[in-house]
Amino acid sequence: MNILLHPTYFPSISHFVAMAKAESIAFEMEDNFQKQTNRNRMYIYSPNGIQLLNIPVKHSKEAHQKTKDVKLETAFDWQKQHFKSLEAAYRTSPFFEYYEDTLSPIFTKKHTFLMDLNLQTIEIISKCLGLKLESQKTVEYFHEANDLVDFRALANGKKDTNTFEPYTQVFEEKHGYINNLSILDVLFNEGRFSLDYLKNQELK
């Protein structure tokens, strides 16, 4: 299966289920930026339940700005805030400390563009999972994906209705199982078993 995906910020489990089953991946580079999608946000399981972590971006005066041209807002120390939130959520998970040093550069490196940050999160998570990616980047925008299976809609979390088999989550005794969070939730809870888990899931 050859697939087409939007690079998002620490993508959802459904993104990585698609990637784990794919032979090759094309990352969409030519789309227009859409607010309130996972392009600049992820969802984690915090002590209080589901928590949104949002990346502030610089607003453009152009009506249509390509995602690859969107710059990160540097006036806020959002990286420090996001890492503290991840610590509060996952410090007691089985594998947080195992992956902490591999992930920490994302929260210290100063990227200029959102797209570069998103691609780095995918690269680092793939390395943690042991997922070897054969990937390319699109050079023009197509409404129809042609020879590729189009999973671009997964970037819009509200339209992603995939449900997956439960696994153990840190705060499930308080709030129950929460479906299709950021891939980090699987990684910190399942560790080296994460890739097997992803391969065994089905997408709608």
Q: What is the pTM of this model?
A: 0.96
Q: Is residue 26, in this structure, part of any structural domain at all?
A: yes
The total domain count for the chain is 1
Residue 27: enclosing H or E segment and its boundaries? strand 24-27
Task: Give the pLDDT confidence of 117-164 residue by residue, as tens digits.
Answer: 999 999 999 999 999 989 999 999 999 988 999 999 999 998 899 999
Q: Is residue 204, in this structure, part of any structural domain at all?
A: no
Domain range enclosing 85: 2-199
The pLDDT, as a whole number, for residue 198 is 98
The pLDDT, as a whole number, for residue 5 is 97
Q: Give the separation between CA 42 and CA 24, rounded to whole angstroms.
A: 24
Q: Is residue 31, in this structure, part of any structural domain at all?
A: yes
Alpha carbon distances (Å) from 93 to 52, 86, 90, 96, 194: 19, 11, 5, 6, 14
pLDDT at 178 over 90: yes
Task: Give the pLDDT confidence of 67-95 residue by residue, as tens digits.
Answer: 999 999 988 899 999 999 999 999 999 99
- Tokens 């308080």 sit on residue: 174
Q: Is residue 187, in this structure, part of any structural domain at all?
A: yes
Q: Is residue 35, in this structure, part of any structural domain at all?
A: yes
Q: Is residue 88, in this structure, part of any structural domain at all?
A: yes
Nearest to 72, CA basis, from 84, 60, 86:
60
